[in-house]
Amino acid sequence: MKAMKLLTSLSVVELRSRLEELQKELLKLTVHIASGANTKNPGKIRQTKKTIARIKFLLGTKGEGI
């Protein structure tokens, strides 16, 4: 719940910026995994996807759909 409280305090512009950063990070992680390399933190992909979903939810509730 801490993550959600932190995200709710951000403005729409900050949320969009954070969303873009996370999507780039997710792409890097998936490419890294697809190339057959081991990851230091295998749960990072799941965590990143959940944070992206939270941000999209908040943007939708603020009327600033994606």
Q: What is the pLDDT of residues 16-37, one digit of tens each?
A: 999 999 999 999 999 988 888 8
Q: What is the pLDDT of residues 32-61, one digit of tens each?
A: 888 888 778 889 999 999 999 999 999 999
12-61 to CATH, choices 3.30.1330.10, 2.40.100.10, 2.60.120.560, 1.10.287.310: 1.10.287.310
Q: Quick one: what percent of the chain has pLDDT higher than 70?
A: 94
- Alpha-carbon gap, residue 31 to 25, rounded angstroms: 10
pTM comes to 0.85
The angle, 0 to 180 degrees and rounded to 10, between the axes of the packed helices 44-61 and 12-34 is: 150
Q: Which are the contacts of 19, defined by CB distance < 8 A and separation ≥ 6?
A: 52, 55, 56, 59, 66
- Alpha-carbon gap, residue 44 to 29, rounded angstroms: 8
